[in-house]
Amino acid sequence: MAETELRAGVTIELLTQSELAEELQSLRKFLRDLDPPAPTIIKATTELTSDASGNIGGGSSGPGALVYQVPVGFEAFIHRVRVTAVGYSPASPLQGGELYFSRNGPTLSTVEFFLPVSGTVAPVVITDGSNSAPQLASGETLVAFGSITDNTTLFVGLQLRLWKSKSAIIGAG
């Protein structure tokens, strides 16, 4: 800081040009964090088929089947999940078995949602509001695993809200 004498015995401190530039950059980062960019709404659909034993993603001990991966630099909130099955309808739903959707691998400790809902595996629609929607961080995956009727094809549709991750916003120049 530079000092300038105004009159005998009184001084004020002024920022140098480089100190001012540094403070303004810090303020820009702070303000970007307060007002993040608007989210992007996307819809993604994945096809999953159970094997001859009825397993999806290798069953409860398999690697899980990839449903969605969050792009690096973003966070995703899952607001709507739609599961339909070929050959099944609301009048004649797929019942029996279980299907789990978990974060980063097939473990029960990271399950975000599961089926059946009221005995029905498909067709179902699950919705979540802004405050309760499952959140996936930058690069994380959503995988499915479980066991249903053998050789059954499911379509899993997601509606997600993608936000630029806070670390990407703060790191922006």
CATH of the domain at 97: 2.60.120
Give the number of C-alpha atoms closer than 13 A to the C-alpha of residue 80, restricted to the C-beta side. 10
| Residue type at position 44 | A
93 in the same domain as 30: no
46 in the same domain as 30: no
Q: Which of 123, 128, 121, 148 is nearest to 55 (CA)?
A: 148
Other Cβ atoms closer than 10 A to 127: 12
30 in the same domain as 102: no
Q: How confident is the model at residue 173 (pLDDT cuts 50, 70, 90)?
A: very low
60 in the same domain as 21: no
95 in the same domain as 51: yes
How does strand 153-164 pair with strand 74-85?
antiparallel
User: What is the spatial distance between Cα 64 and Cα 51, in angstroms, rounded to a whole number?
Assistant: 13
- Cβ(70)–Cβ(76) below 8 Å: yes
149 in the same domain as 92: yes
Number of domains in the chain: 2
Q: What range does the domain containing 20 cover?
A: 2-35
Q: What is the per-residue pLDDT across 107-161, written as a single tens digit (0 to 9) for each?
A: 888 899 899 877 899 999 999 887 889 999 999 999 999 999 999 999 999 999 9
91 in the same domain as 15: no
pLDDT confidence of residue 4:
60
122 in the same domain as 102: yes
Secondary structure E strands in the chain: 2-7, 10-14, 40-49, 55-56, 65-69, 74-85, 94-95, 98-103, 111-115, 120-122, 124-127, 135-136, 141-147, 153-164
User: What is the spatial distance between Cα 147 and Cα 40, in angstroms, rounded to a whole number?
Assistant: 33
Q: Which of helix, strand or coil describes residue 108?
A: helix
48 in the same domain as 25: no
51 in the same domain as 10: no
Q: At residue 1, does pLDDT exceed 70? A: no
